[in-house]
Amino acid sequence: MMYIQYYDSPLGKMLLAADEIGLIGVWFENQKYYANGLKEPIEKETIVLKETKEWLDFYFSGKEPEFLPKMHLIGTEFQKKVWHILLKIPYSKTMTYKDIARMISPSMSAQAVGSAVGHNKISILIPCHRVIGSNSSLTGYAGGIERKEYLLKFEKKNGI
């Protein structure tokens, strides 16, 4: 079964999705939903979706959440490896695609990492907004560059 809830964030409405295992997606309303194709989701607040809303409430109040809801990462092993690295990027800090590639392998391409980052379905909680280009450019963010910029400034301003 697939369960969904909506969350009103300072950046617009968000769709949260979970299955019996854990959180599978967090998308902004006008973002290309990776949830397309999910079979008949049921709008129901589950424990994981409630915890996700609490996490987002903490985050958007300027506090660093001290917990993560249980997640069900759906992707290739490589994508999961990249997403786990993203989870280690501290609040208000950034890493480049190339930095992440070098953490995996000296010969790994930044483009391969960029592709994996781009397939992250759990916005904000898995902080793909903290990944920038080698020249410090704010490249690529499925929720839109203006949201990426907002999130990075928000984290620096609040010291989280």
pLDDT in tens, 32-64: 665 555 677 889 999 999 999 999 999 999 998
Mean pLDDT of 10-33: 90
pTM score, two decimals? 0.91
Instruction: Give the confidence band of 159 by pLDDT, cuts at 50, 70, 90.
Output: confident
pLDDT in tens, 117-129: 999 999 999 999 9
pLDDT of residue 65: 93
pLDDT of residue 17: 94
For the chain, which domains are there?
3-60 (3.30.160), 77-158 (1.10.10.10)
Please give the angle made by the CA atoms of 93, 78 and 35, to the nearest 5 degrees. 85
Instruction: Give the confidence band of 135 by pLDDT, cuts at 50, 70, 90.
Output: confident
pLDDT of residue 144: 83
* High-pLDDT (> 90) share of the chain, %: 78
Candidates 25, 41, 47; CA nearest to 125 is 25
pLDDT of residue 44: 94
128 annotated active-site: yes
Mean pLDDT of 119-144: 89
Matching residue, tokens 């994996």: 116
Q: How high is the mean pLDDT of the chain?
A: 91
The whole-angstrom separation of Cα 27 and Cα 29 is 6
Catalytic residue among 18, 101, 113, 128: 128
pLDDT in tens, 66-99: 999 999 999 999 999 999 999 999 999 999 999 9
